[in-house]
Every structure is written in C-alpha cells, then in structure tokens.
Amino acid sequence: MLENQSNFHFKDRFKNQKILVTGGAGFLGKRVIAQLIDAGANPDLITVPRSHELDLRSLANCEKVVQDQDLIVHLAAHVGGIGLNREKPAELFYDNLMMGVQLIHAAYQAMVKKFVCVGTICAYPNHTPVPFKENDLWNGYPEYTNAPYGIAKKALLVQLQSYRQQYGFNGIYLLPVNLYGPEDNFDPRSSHVIPALIRKVYEAQQKGDRQILVWGDGSPTREFIYSDDAARAIVMASANYNDSEPVNIGTGLEISIKDLIHLICELMGYEGEILWETDKPNGQPRRCLDVERAKTAFGFSAAVNFQEGLHRTIAWYRQQAA
C-alpha cells in the first residue's frame, strides 16, 4: 500500500484516467504501474508501449501512442553504468533526447492533461555541493562520462518549463538518485554499481575466488533509493505535484563505494580481498540529494532501510542465479 499519504489524498485521483507509462515493462515501470493501480488507477486503462513494437525515437510513433491519454509517465530510457556511458555516449544522447522531446511535443499537441518526466541524477554538475539542491542543477557541466545522457535528460526539463510558460502545458520533472532492488539489471555490460557488485561477489563465491576487482579507488560517494520507494514518489507526484520546478527523489543518505562493497560483502558472507582498479574511472566524486522539496511539495519520504533493501536485492539475485 502507498505510505506517507495522510495529507495527500489519492481518492479518485486516477479513477477512469487513461495512463501511458513508457518503460512500464522495466525495472521501475512495473512498480510504478503496481502503485498506480494501488492508488485507484484502472489497469485496463494503462498502456505500456514496448520498444520492440513501438520505437519512441519516431515522432509518428509518439503521436500515435499519446492519443486520448490523460496522464503520461515517461520512464523509458537508454541507460546504464559507467561502462555503457563510455562505450555508447552518442546513442545515449540521441536516444534519450529524441524519445523525450518528441513525446512531450506530441503530448502537448494531443492535449494530454499531465506529463510526468523522470530525469536523472546524472544531470547535476560534476562538483555540485552536497547535498545537491535542485537550484544547483545549472551551476556547471556534468561529470564527463555521464554528460551525454545527463544533458539529454536535462534538456527535457527546459522543454517542459518552456511549454508550461508558452502553452500552459502541465509537465513535471523528477530527479531520482540511483535505483536498486529485485529485478534490477545485473548484466555486467550495462548494470549500475549495486547489481554489478552483487554479481561480482556472487560469482567470486561460486568460483572460490579470494579476490575481486572493483573499478576506481572507492572514494566516490553515492546515494541509492529502493525501487518501490522511487515508484511511490512518482505516483505521489503524479497525483499531487503540478509545479515547474524539478524535484529530487532520494533518501538523503550518502555512502562511499568503498563502504558499499564492504557492506555487500558482509551481507553476502564474502571474506575475500577487494582490489581497486585505479586506472578505471571513478565517476562523479560525490552524490547525495537534498530531499526536502519532495517532502514539502507532495509528502514523500523514503521508507525502506538501505541494508534491508540490499538484503532483499541480494536474496532475489541469488534465487535467480541459482
């Protein structure tokens, strides 16, 4: 059930609404749909376009899919970890920009009532003071490996704000930190840090390896939000937030990569040695959000304890990998 909603009522908010959820078959999308239904949405009125059937980089497809929709939640993204960012920066820029820009424009033309755009923490400047405040978003260039993806996504905020100013189009923009949880992407070619580290430790245990290699030097810090919490924030904002200013979605808790891998090893019972590949990139030096705006604007605060969330994620992966 949805939490933290005592002052933010969902009754009838989604009743009879036609809702389009791009990326709705993905890791986060499945949870957003489940919580939309929990909040009163009719599952028969929720549309989930699949990328292999409807390429949203095509304007014609965007125009087709937005027709007669009341609410659009745009989660679809071409995204991955540092490895993918280094390997395919052009694809990440083009795919994310074209999907978002054309979908927003088509939604405006189709007179969709509300557009919820889920952006990325990668949009923040490389040396943003911690905790990241939404007002810091434009105070510098993103970390270079994240920049093509982050800038493509950040452009959508400008588009939504300008469409609101000129056309009165109701679009909102959310900035979630790194997600994790069961059903995450554990493919080592494109995964983010938590699933990548869980898989490394699991495979070392299976092989009896006494050492594992981890990119960087362990000094960068990150903040993570459990997928169910992120989904709940998106649904709460969809129901109750209608402003032009972007909103951070996170926990406000910061952990170094070094402490993260040691915590994962502890939870998984691995006692081997960690070897740092210092010739590999660290990524952004620090990431931790100021989460006050989400709390005051629509009553969201994260509920899942980080260790508990990791425990659930590890348990799910072990079951799948066995």
Binding-site entries:
23-29, 153, 176-179, 192, 200, 215, 222
**What separation in angstroms does the CA of 68 have from each of 75, 102, 165?**
19, 17, 23
C-beta of residue 178 within 8 angstroms of C-beta of residue 245: no
Catalytic residue among 108, 124, 149, 180: 149
- For the chain, give the longest Cα–Cα distance: 62
- Residues annotated in a binding site for substrate: 200, 215, 222
Look up 149 and say whether it is catalytic: yes
**What separation in angstroms does the CA of 25 have from each of 21, 46, 237?**
9, 12, 20
Tell me, rounded to whole angstroms, the distance of Cα 253 from its chain centroid: 16
Residue located via tokens 């300008």: 162
- Cα separation, 78 vs 49, in Å, equals 15
Q: In this structure, what token pair is assigned to residue 234?
A: 């998106």
- Cα separation, 35 vs 228, in Å, equals 9
Give 16-46 as a DSSP string: T--EEEETTTSHHHHHHHHHHHHTT--GGGE
Active-site residue list:
149
